[in-house]
């Protein structure tokens, strides 16, 4: 259970992250060091989420409705960075299901990136010329309400070893492919022995140069960055790039900073992609703090995505005009190398489309 001081309970505006930047600091939950136990122990019930965070019970019916569409999942390590009793907390907004998720909004669809058109093998998405995406895990540690894959048919895309061999053949035969990307779900939700096996097979393909991992796990459960992960990352001949997913500076606590240091120690290049989200990070001050904080912990800001129009997430949308104005203003606050590129993913395009 989370232990809180009486002061924090009274203020209703405190943090129980041990190094959150503002508010009263509460005793952090004692996390198990075993990341898999932390995965299993994640909050998966709207009632428990509301109770842990001291939310007004009025939030519960909407949370139950959203949960029926896309289940709640929040690990305690992430929960500990959310301010107690604050329904406006920018981290909470990313994970709290809402009644509005059942609204039908024109243009918001189940497969906004039309990925079904680009799946030549189970678990393989080939959209861009020289890189492919491997669905290395059907699961995530956290369920982000705005996720563009919230309706993805993972059951059809969880390859067996034999099916991976067919996917590897596809990669062997196309010598234009020089980069493989582990995606998901969250690829790091898979056990290391499975990931290490796949990384070894990929390293045997001579024209592959890079292995990229798109993951949120080192952010939401920093203990995921353990010796077993670092061992296979450091051992592969492929250049390793990790694109983490952080939307708000409050997501980076000392545990996340330490995890990033361990990854850099294993020779991993760290980049970040964020999604521009209404009510979470749609202001210049937050985006500037995010870039600064990312660089403090050794991560380069890479992309700021506008929302992919997925069914259930329309309430997070920020218009293109607003996004462009935000980013143009942001430029005056940041050194050039701290500026993420504002992009949209357009189905059928050869790469991401820059907006500003
Ligand atoms: S971690 Fe990534 S893939 Fe998983 S729900 Fe969040 S945004 Fe989607």
288-308 pLDDT tens trace: 999 999 999 999 999 999 999
Mean pLDDT confidence for 221-250: 98
Residue 114: pLDDT band with limits 50, 70, 90: confident
Atom 8, ligand 1: residue with shortest CA distance: 147
pLDDT of amino acid 25: 35
Q: Cα of 39 to ligand 1 centre, how many Å? A: 14
Q: Retrieve residue 17's tokens.
A: 């992250």
HSE-up of residue 122 (Cα within 13 Å, Cβ side): 16
Structure pTM?
Answer: 0.89
Domains and their CATH numbers in the chain? 6-102 (no CATH), 115-354 (3.20.20.70)
- The reported pLDDT for the residue numbered 6 is 28
Cα–Cα distance for residue pair 29/17, rounded to 1 Å: 9
- What DSSP character marks residue 194? H
Question: What tokens appear for 266 in the block?
Answer: 């294993």
First to last CA, the chain: 45
Confidence of residue 32 (pLDDT cuts 50, 70, 90): low
Q: Residue 327 is encoded by which pair of tokens?
A: 């980013």
Distance in angstroms (rounded) separating the CA atoms of residues 242 and 238:
12
Query: Which atom belonging to ligand 1 lies closest to the Cα atom of 184?
Result: 3
Residues 6+ apart with CB under 8 A from 178: 130, 131, 207, 208, 209, 210
Atom of ligand 1 nearest to the CA of 275: 7
Residue 153: what pLDDT? Answer: 80
Chain position carrying tokens 């997913």: 245
Our answer on whether the CB atom of 143 is closer than 6 Å to any ligand 1 atom is yes
- For residue 13, pLDDT beyond 50: no
> Quick one: average pLDDT of 236-260?
98
**Residues with Cβ within 8 Å of residue 107, at least 6 apart in sequence:** 309
Alpha carbon of 215 to ligand 1 centroid (Å): 8
- Calculate what percentage of the chain has a pLDDT beyond 70: 91
Neighbours of 181 (CB within 10 A): 19
Ligand 1: atom nearest CA of 148 is 8
Determine whether the shortest distance from the Cβ of 306 to ligand 1 is under 6 A. Answer: no
- Ligand 1 centroid to Cα of residue 75, in Å, is 13
Tokens representing residue 237 in the block: 């001949």
> Does the pLDDT at position 216 exceed 80?
yes
């Amino acid at each position: 259970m989370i232990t809180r001081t009486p002061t924090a309970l009274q203020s209703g505006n405190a943090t129980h992250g041990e190094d959150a930047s503002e508010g009263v600091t509460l005793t952090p939950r004692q996390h198990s060091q075993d990341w898999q136990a932390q995965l299993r122990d994640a909050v998966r019930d709207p009632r428990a989420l509301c109770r842990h965070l001291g939310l007004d019970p009025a939030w519960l019916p909407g949370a139950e409705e959203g949960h029926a569409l896309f289940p709640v999942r929040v690990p305690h390590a992430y929960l500990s960075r959310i301010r107690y009793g604050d329904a406006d907390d920018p981290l909470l907004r990313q994970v709290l299901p809402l009644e509005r998720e059942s609204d039908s909004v024109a243009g918001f669809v189940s497969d906004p990136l039309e990925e079904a058109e680009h799946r030549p093998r189970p678990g393989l998405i080939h959209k861009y010329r020289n890189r492919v995406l491997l669905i290395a895990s059907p699961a995530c540690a956290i369920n982000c309400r705005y996720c563009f894959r919230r309706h993805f048919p993972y059951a059809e895309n969880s390859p067996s070893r034999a099916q991976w061999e067919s996917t590897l053949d596809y990669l062997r035969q196309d010598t234009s492919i020089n980069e493989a990307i582990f995606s998901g779900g969250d690829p790091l939700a898979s056990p290391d022995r499975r990931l290490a096996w796949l990384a070894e097979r990929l390293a045997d393909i001579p024209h592959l140069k890079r292995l990229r991992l798109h993951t949120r796990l080192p952010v939401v459960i920093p203990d995921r960055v353990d010796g077993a992960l670092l061992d296979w990352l450091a051992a592969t001949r492929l250049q390793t790039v990790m694109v983490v997913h952080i939307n708000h500076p409050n997501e980076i606590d000392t545990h996340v900073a330490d995890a990033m240091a361990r990854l850099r120690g294993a020779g991993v290049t760290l980049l970040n992609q964020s999604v521009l989200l209404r009510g979470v990070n749609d202001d210049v001050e937050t985006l500037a703090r995010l870039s600064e904080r990312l660089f403090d912990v050794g991560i380069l800001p890479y992309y700021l995505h506008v929302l992919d129009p997925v069914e259930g997430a329309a309430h997070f949308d920020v218009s293109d005009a607003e996004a462009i104005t935000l980013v143009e203003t942001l430029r005056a606050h940041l050194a050039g190398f701290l500026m993420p590129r504002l992009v949209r993913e357009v189905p059928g395009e050869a790469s991401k489309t820059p907006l500003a």
